[in-house]
Structure 1
Amino acid sequence: MRSLTFLPCFAHQLNLCVGEIFKESVEFKNTIDKSIKLATYFRNSNNKFFIANLKELQYETYKKYIIPIVPAETRWNSIYMMCTSLLNIQKALQILAIKFEPPIVESRRKSGDSPKISRAIFEIINSEAFWRNLLSITKILDPYNKILNVLQRDKARLFQVVHSFGYLAQFWSKYEDIEFAAKIIARLENRWKSWEQPLLILSCLLHPEYKMECFNNNIFNINYSVFGRWIIYYYRAWSGKDSKCILREFDDFRLSKYPFDINSYNHFDGDVWRYWCYISVSTNELGFVACRIFGICINAASVERLWSCMGFLQTNRRNRLMSSRALEMSKLRADITYSHRLISTTSKPSFNNAIFEIAEDNENNDQDHEENNDENLVDENLVNNNKNLDDDENLIDEDCDEEFENENIDQLNIENDFGEYLQGWVEMLREEKNAIDDDNYDDENIMVDNIIHPAVDTNAKWELTTLFKNNLKLPF
C-alpha cells in the first residue's frame, strides 16, 4: 500500500480551520449568529415592507442594491461573503433602523400606524460592538477566503497548501490578541502534524520558484541532502524499483542546471506540473517522482460539483429518473454550460486568422470572374430542382418512420453505453486491486516496509511557526 498516497481534501481542511475560529471565541460566535439572524430577516418574504425600504435607501445611498447573503453549510466562503455584504450596507441598515425604530415595549400595531422593525433586529443594527466585531471577523477571514479560492481549483498543487498554512501561522503570530492567537496556532499545528509533511515539503523543494527560498535556514534538517532520503523512498514506493541516479538529478535541480533553470520554467506560465511533464523525458528518475507529486489532486471540489449536478437533475419532484434519462440530461447540461463558456470567452485575433482573411479576399476576387459563367447555369439548375421536389415529397413519409425507429435505437444504445461505462469502472477497480497486490509484493522485495511511513515518522515533523522565514507573503 506504500504506492498509494492518502491525503485529505485541503479545501475542506481550511474550512474546518475557519470553524475552529468560532469555537475558540464565544464573542465571534455570537456575532456570526446575529449576522445570520440579520441577513435572514431581510431575505424573508414576510418582511417585504422593510426589504423594499432597504432597497430604496440603498439606491439613494450607494446607487445600487446589495442583497444580504445568507450562509450555507455546503457553500464555501459563504460566512465571509455574508459579513462583507452586511458591512457594505451598514449605513443603509442604520438609517432604516432609525426610521422604523420600535418602542421599547412592543404592542399590537393599530390600524393606520406605520410598521416597526423587530426589536431584536433593531438592537443588532444599533450595536456598535456588533459592527466592530463583524469588521474584525472580516479581516480575519479575508486571507482564508483568498486561499480557499485557490485551493478549491482543479489545478491547485501541494506547494500552495504548504505556503498557505505557513502564511496563516505567521498571520496569527502577529495577531493582537495573543491568547486567542495561541489557541488558533495550536489547532493549526495539530492539523499540520497529522499530514505527510515530507511529501508536502518536497513539493516546494521541487518547485523552481520555491526551492529553499521560503524555508528557515536555521533548521538543520531542511535541506536537499536530508530530503534526498525521502526522494529515494518515494521513488521506491511508487515505482517498485531501486533508484540509481535520482540523487544526481536532484543535485542538478538544486544547481539549476538546464533544463532545471528558472528560464525554462517561465515558458510554462506557472504550470509546474506541465513543466515537469515536459522535462521528465530528460531525467531517468526525478521526473517520475516530481510528476507524481505535482499531479496529486489536493481537493474534492470536482466531486462536490458532481453532487451539485446530480442535485440539479434529481429533485423531490423528479425522483424517478432512469439511468439513461439522467445520462442524457447530464450531457445536455454539460453542453449548455460549455456553450455559455464559449460565448463568454472573447476570441483574440491571431496570425492564422489574418492569413485566412487574406486568402478569403483572394478567393472573392476569383469568384467575381466566375459569376458571369455561373449565371448561364441558373436556368438549368431551376429545372432540375423542380424535378427533385417531386421525388423529395415521396421520401418524407419514409424518413419519418426511419426517425422514429432511430430514436428507439438511440435509446437502447444510450442504455448499453451506460452499462459498458459502469463495466469499465468495475474493470478499473479490479486492475487497481491487482496492482495493489503487485505493489505489496514489490515492497517486500525492496524492504520499503521496514522504513517508517513519513506520515507517522516523528523525525519527519516540523512546526509551522518555525519552518518558514519571517514575513511570508500572502501566496495568491
Structure 2
Amino acid sequence: MNPTSNSASSGKDPAPTEDSQTQSAKDAYRKEVSVWVDSKTNEGAHVVPLLSSAVPGGSAAKKQANTEAFFDRPLAKNELGDFERLLADMFVSGNFSFRAVEDPRFIRFWKFMRPAVKPPSRFVLSTRIIPQRIKSVESNTVKALSSQLSVTVTLDGYKNAKHDKVLGIMATVKNSQGVENHFLSTEIISSQSSRAEDVMEKIEGSFTMLEQKFKACARTVTCDSDAAHVKARRLMKEKYPSKIFLPCSAHQINLIVKDVLTSVPKFSAICKKAVDIVSLLATRTKALAVLREEQMKYNGSTTAISKLCDTRWYSYNNMFRAIAKSQLPLQGMVARLADERSKTEGLAKLKVTIEDAAFWSGLKNVVQILDPVTVAQGITETDGCTLADVITQFAKIYHVFTALEDDDLAGVLGSTLEKRWQKFYDPSLFVLALILDPTSKMKPFRTSGRFNFGVVLRWAKGWYVRLFEADGMRVISSLMDYIENKGIFGDEVASNLSSVERYWKYVQYEHKELASLVLELWHVVVHAASLERAWSQLGFVHDDNRSNLKLDLATGMVAMRMKFQKEDIMAKREAQRVAALKESLKVDLQTNKKSSGTVVEMDEDGDIQIISSNNNDCSTVSDSEIQDDASASSQFNSVLEALLEFEECTDDEINDSVTDFYSLSDLFGVVSS
C-alpha cells in the first residue's frame, strides 16, 4: 500500500521533517525580532540596519537586510574606536591577563555574544589598544596641570615584583571639585645613589617638567623623612624661598605610634606578648579553630586577629583592639587546650600571658592612648587633608598624652611628641592655616604665654612676602579686621560660609592679599598618601605573574585604574547628593503645602532655590554653605592687648623670617575658653 495515498486519504497532514521544524523556529524568531525592532523604533530608539552590501548576493534595490543582522554584524569604522576603548577599560579595570583574549573559552564566549566581531590578538591588545588608551588618559593630565600655579609635587619610592627600586613623582592639584593626582614620571633607580644632592636633582627636574610641558608652577614639595630627604628639604628651602617643603604628615603620624611603643618599656613588653599571641595562632590551626568557636560563643561573631604590616605602625593598634575584644574567647581557648597532649612551650607561654590580669589592663591602656593617633592617621592620609587638619590632629594627640593620670607616662609621651613636632614642622605655616580657618580663628590656642596675636601678624606678613615677593603690610590690616569680624568679615553671608575656599573667595575682593595667602595655603597637599595608593595599585597590576610588564605600561595602567576609581567615587557621591536633594525637596514641598508664602525649587546646578511668594526675593543656598545657627562670635581680650602691643612695634621689628620656635605646649598648653 502506498503510504502517501493512505495519509492523503485519511485527511492527516504529513509528519513535519527536521528541516521544516528548523524553518518554523527561524520564522518564529524572525517574527519576534521584527516585533522587538518595531517596538524599539516606536520608542524612539535608533536601530542601525545591516548594510545590504554585507549580505552575500544582496543589494539595496534587490534585497532587504535580514532582521537577524540587527544583532550580529561587523563593526563599522566609526564604532571601532569605541569598541577598543571599552575593551581596554575592561581589561585594565578588571586586571585581566592579556592572555585571556586568546583563551579558547573566552573566544567561545565571544562568538556566542557577537560571532561577526573578531577579538584582537594578545599582541595587538598589549602593544596598540591599551597604550593608545593610556595616551588618552594622559591627555587629562595635560588638561589638569596646564597653567596651574599651585601644584604639589610628591616623591616616594617602591620595590616592584622584580625587586627593582622605583622612584615615582606625582603632581597633585586641589580645586573646588576635589583633588587630582597625576604621574609626572617613574623610573628605576636601583643603581643610583640616594644622597641629598640626588634628591634635589629629581625635584628640580620635576620643576622643569611642569614649567616646560604644562606651563605650571610647583608651589609645594612633600616627600619622605629619611636623612637624604630631610637634608634636601633644608637645602631647597634656602634655594627656593618662595616654595613650601614639607614632610609627609601621614607618615609622621604613623611614626608617633612607633614612638609610643618604643619609648615606654612596659608598652614594648605588652607589644611583644601581643605579637607572640598572633604568631602562635598563625601556626596552630586547631587553636585558631577553637578560638573562633569561643568567639561565636561569647561575641556572636568571629573577629580576625589583624596581621601586622611592616611599614604601617598603626596596624599594631588594630591588632591590640582585636586581641582586647577577644579576651574571654582567648581565655576559653586556653582552658579547652589545657589538657592537650601535644602541649608545647608556646602554648604554655600563651597560657601565662592570657591569664595575666596586668597584661589585659596594660593592653587596654595602650589602645586608649593609640586610638586618637589611629584616627589622626586616617584623617591625615585623606585627599582633602589640609595644613589646619594636621595641626588640629597634633593638638588632639597632645591633649590626650598630657592628660594621662600617670604623670611620668604623660611626660615621656609629651616629650616624644614635642621632639617630632620640633624636628619636622614649621609652626608658623600650620598655625596660620588654622587661624585663617573661619571656624577656628584664635580659639584653639593658648594666648596667655609666649604665643600671642602679635606673633601671628609677623608670621602672616613673612609668609606673604616669601610666597608672593611683595609687600605684606596690607595683610596685617586685613588680618586684624578678620579677627575682630569687622566689615565684610562680620556680615551674615560670611558667617554662614563654613567652607574655607568659599569664605575667602567671597571676601577676596576687599581683602585680596590675605585671601591670596589663605587660598595658597589651602592648595597645599600635606602627604604622599596618594602616591602610596598608586604603589598599591602597581603591586596589584605588576605582580609576580606579570613581572615582565614594562614600567611605563604598568604605571599607565595604574593611571587608568586611578581614573576609574575617581569616576566611581564621583558617580556615587553625585547619586547620594541627588537622592538627598530629592528627599529634602519632598519634605520641603510637603511643608509648603501646609504653609503659604514659600516655594522650593532646584536650579540647574543642583542647589536648593528658595523663592518667596510675598516678594520677588530669591536666594540660593548650597548644602555645603549651611552652618548651624550657633554664631561664631569671637571675644579676645588677650588679642586686643596683643594688637595694642603690636601698634607700638616698628616696621623693622616685623621681620620676614621666623627665628623663634613654638612648641605644642606654647600653642596648646592651656586651651582658650
Taking structure 1 as the reference length, the TM-score comes to 0.68
The 2-side partners of 1:201 and 1:354 are apart by 40
More strand by share: 2
Map residues 59-208 of structure 1 onto 2, 5 A cutoff. Answer: 59-75=296-312, 77-101=314-338, 118-194=347-423, 195-208=425-438
CA, structure 1 residues 218+326, in 2 after alignment: closer, same or farther (shift >3 Å)?
A: same
Residue 295 in structure 1 maps to residue 495 in structure 2: no
The 2-side partners of 1:55 and 1:108 are apart by 20
Letter in 1 for 2:375: K
**Once the two structures are superposed, what CA deviation does each residue of 1:176-228 show, in whole Å capped at 9, x if it has no partner?**
222232222222222222321111211122121222212223125410x4322
Identify the residue that residue 539 of structure 2 maps to in structure 1: 311
1:94 Cα shift? 0.4
Contact 1:11 1:152 (8 Å CA) reproduced: yes
Map residues 48-447 of structure 1 onto 2, 5 A cutoff. Answer: 48-75=285-312, 77-101=314-338, 118-194=347-423, 195-219=425-449, 221-223=451-453, 225-243=454-472, 245-261=474-490, 263-264=492-493, 267-268=496-497, 270-323=498-551, 325-326=553-554, 329-330=557-558, 333-334=561-562, 337-338=565-566, 341=569, 342=571, 346=576, 348=579, 350=581
Question: 2:244 is paired with a residue of what secondary structure?
Answer: coil
More helix by share: 1
The 2-side partners of 1:117 and 1:101 are apart by 12
Contact 2:295 2:329 (8 Å CA) reproduced: yes
Residue 21 in structure 1 maps to residue 250 in structure 2: no
The 2-side partners of 1:464 and 1:352 are apart by 45
Contact 1:279 1:287 (8 Å CA) reproduced: yes
Letter in 2 for 1:302: S
The 1-side partners of 2:672 and 2:540 are apart by 42
Identify the residue that residue 4 of structure 2 maps to in structure 1: none
1:142 Cα shift? 1.4
CA, structure 1 residues 310+101, in 2 after alignment: closer, same or farther (shift >3 Å)?
A: same
The 2-side partners of 1:352 and 1:80 are apart by 39
The 2-side partners of 1:327 and 1:175 are apart by 47
**Once the two structures are superposed, what CA deviation does each residue of 1:294-350 show, in whole Å capped at 9, x if it has no partner?**
222122211111111111111223111135642563355346645764469645064
CA, structure 1 residues 7+49, in 2 after alignment: closer, same or farther (shift >3 Å)?
A: same
CA, structure 1 residues 221+50, in 2 after alignment: closer, same or farther (shift >3 Å)?
A: closer
The aligned length equals 364
The 2-side partners of 1:256 and 1:325 are apart by 54
Letter in 2 for 1:333: R
Identify the residue that residue 362 of structure 1 maps to in structure 2: none
Identify the residue that residue 661 of structure 2 maps to in structure 1: 461
1:130 Cα shift? 1.5
The 1-side partners of 2:486 and 2:314 are apart by 42
1:75 Cα shift? 3.2
Contact 2:489 2:495 (8 Å CA) reproduced: no
1:65 Cα shift? 0.9
Contact 2:376 2:393 (8 Å CA) reproduced: yes
Question: 1:7 is paired with a residue of what secondary structure?
Answer: strand
Q: Percent identity?
A: 23
Question: Is there any run of 5+ residues in structure 1 with no aligned partner, and where?
Answer: 110-114, 356-447
The 2-side partners of 1:265 and 1:41 are apart by 59
1:121 Cα shift? 2.2
Map residues 32-43 of structure 1 onto 2, 5 A cutoff. Answer: 32-42=271-281
1:97 Cα shift? 0.2
The 2-side partners of 1:249 and 1:452 are apart by 17
CA, structure 1 residues 3+95, in 2 after alignment: closer, same or farther (shift >3 Å)?
A: same
The 2-side partners of 1:350 and 1:185 are apart by 46
The 2-side partners of 1:169 and 1:140 are apart by 11
The 2-side partners of 1:285 and 1:153 are apart by 29
The 1-side partners of 2:342 and 2:325 are apart by 33
**Once the two structures are superposed, what CA deviation does each residue of 1:436-463 show, in whole Å capped at 9, x if it has no partner?**
xxxxxxxxxxxx9x96743xx1xx3223
Question: 2:544 is paired with a residue of what secondary structure?
Answer: coil
Contact 1:265 1:272 (8 Å CA) reproduced: no
Question: Is there any run of 5+ residues in structure 2 with no aligned partner, and where?
Answer: 1-239, 587-651
CA, structure 1 residues 471+98, in 2 after alignment: closer, same or farther (shift >3 Å)?
A: farther
| CA radius of gyration, larger in | 2
1:140 Cα shift? 0.8
Contact 1:100 1:116 (8 Å CA) reproduced: no
Question: 2:508 is paired with a residue of what secondary structure?
Answer: helix
The 1-side partners of 2:657 and 2:426 are apart by 9
**Once the two structures are superposed, what CA deviation does each residue of 1:393-420 show, in whole Å capped at 9, x if it has no partner?**
xxxxxxxxxxxxxxxxxxxxxxxxxxxx
Taking structure 2 as the reference length, the TM-score comes to 0.49
Letter in 2 for 1:56: E
Contact 1:189 1:464 (8 Å CA) reproduced: yes
Contact 1:102 1:119 (8 Å CA) reproduced: no
Highest RCO, 1 vs 2 (Cα 8 Å, sep ≥ 6): 1
1:285 Cα shift? 0.7
1:149 Cα shift? 1.8
Contact 2:308 2:316 (8 Å CA) reproduced: yes
The 1-side partners of 2:252 and 2:661 are apart by 19
Letter in 1 for 2:278: A
1:102 Cα shift? 5.4
The 2-side partners of 1:331 and 1:80 are apart by 32
**Once the two structures are superposed, what CA deviation does each residue of 1:337-392 show, in whole Å capped at 9, x if it has no partner?**
4576446964506469999xxxxxxxxxxxxxxxxxxxxxxxxxxxxxxxxxxxxx
CA, structure 1 residues 59+100, in 2 after alignment: closer, same or farther (shift >3 Å)?
A: same
Question: 2:489 is paired with a residue of what secondary structure?
Answer: coil
1:91 Cα shift? 0.5
The 1-side partners of 2:565 and 2:362 are apart by 40
CA, structure 1 residues 93+265, in 2 after alignment: closer, same or farther (shift >3 Å)?
A: farther
1:165 Cα shift? 2.1
Contact 1:36 1:70 (8 Å CA) reproduced: no
CA, structure 1 residues 350+52, in 2 after alignment: closer, same or farther (shift >3 Å)?
A: same
Contact 2:542 2:549 (8 Å CA) reproduced: yes
1:146 Cα shift? 1.8
Residue 12 in structure 1 maps to residue 251 in structure 2: yes
The 1-side partners of 2:566 and 2:488 are apart by 37
**Once the two structures are superposed, what CA deviation does each residue of 1:207-252 show, in whole Å capped at 9, x if it has no partner?**
21222212223125410x4322222221221112223522222222
The 2-side partners of 1:465 and 1:276 are apart by 30
The 1-side partners of 2:473 and 2:359 are apart by 63
Question: 1:6 is paired with a residue of what secondary structure?
Answer: strand
Letter in 1 for 2:269: N
Contact 2:451 2:662 (8 Å CA) reproduced: no
Identify the residue that residue 369 of structure 1 maps to in structure 2: none
**Once the two structures are superposed, what CA deviation does each residue of 1:17-65 show, in whole Å capped at 9, x if it has no partner?**
22111222222112112212212332x2x42222222212211221111
